[in-house]
Amino acid sequence: MEQTAEEWLDQLRVEKGASVNTIAGYRRDITRYLEDLRTHGITRIQDVTPADIDRHVVDLRAGTITGRRLAASSVARAAAAIRGFHLFALREGTSSLDPADNVETPRSGQRLPKALTVDQVSRLLDAAHVDDGPVALRDAALLEFLYATGARVSEALGMDLDDIDLDEELPVVRLFGKGRKERLVPLGHFACESIAAYLVRARPTLVVKGRGTPALFLNTRGRRLTRQSAWEAIQRVAAAAHLENHVSPHTLRHSFATHLLEGGASVRDVQELLGHASVQTTQIYTKLTATTLREVYRSAHPRALARR
């Protein structure tokens, strides 16, 4: 079963273009699944039944396997991995049946993303521009870039110098999303100025400490900035801005989408800018703005609430 799992993951990476993070997540899910099957005496794919899969999913939700209850989204991803694994085994002839065919993937629910207000974003970005050292200039450029483009942090950190051209009046950056799908996103004036300052006054100082890399955002050793370092940078700036909200790279992506919709952009346009494969994913943000509007209406309209 382990060999089939490796072949399936290889197919996802090579043929489907799945990201490193997606592969890592699926690998954890399938490794845990196969170990669970072995503890119940199942060592062949052919012997797995729908009941075995149902039990595994139920145990994940109850925390029996991991020692803690998994989030609904984590259970849903694990179930999706199991379905993909067994479907691959069927198509490759490793198994003559698909025991996961009728197993339902648990719904993860639609939690509204937490977005900052426009004022909070302004405070965050103002705090990023207080210092002018190389690391501070890099952090400011990164934050401005994330909010200006709505990019996933993996997309921003995967950028090379050739993916951006600041000479145009309204530059367009090239981002590579899930499945290496390419999209072009405009870059606003403030982000352009911050990135230009970083490229001139900070990146040359950072790059000489490494072996040379085309990466746009660098760490203090002259290498491509990591996700952990990006998260820590945003936490530092958020603390300096005295923001009580939990701020992460994805918070800026959520804020980007929410503020565009509140400003009058269409869902289809925001879908294109975010790189969502389905408009249904983008529509989550319309629910967020509707919630905001309800709060504004409730507090501002004289006849919104019943009189006591």
Question: Which residues are identified as catalytic?
Answer: 152, 178, 250, 253, 276, 285
3-state secondary structure 237-288: HHHHCCCCCCCCHHHHHHHHHHHHHHCCCCHHHHHHHHCCCCHHHHHHHHHH
Q: Which long-range contacts (CB under 8 A, 24 or more apart) does 228-235 make?
A: 230/142, 230/153, 230/156, 230/157, 231/153, 233/135, 233/138, 233/139, 233/142, 233/143, 234/139, 234/142, 234/143
- For 51, half-sphere exposure in the C-beta direction (CA atoms, 13 angstrom radius) is 3
- Cα distances (Å, whole numbers) of residue 266 to 174, 219, 260, 282, 306: 21, 37, 8, 10, 34
Q: Residue 237 and residue 249: Cα distance in Å, rounded?
A: 12
At residue 254, what are phi and psi to the nearest 5 degrees?
-60, -40
Instruction: Map residue 215 onto helix, strand or coil.
Output: strand
CA separation for the pair 17, 239 (Å, rounded): 37
Closest CA to 163 of 176, 153, 151, 154: 176
Please state, in angstroms and rounded to a whole number, the distance separating the CA atoms of residues 222 and 27.
31
**Alpha helices per DSSP H over 150-266:** 153-157, 189-201, 203-207, 227-240, 249-262
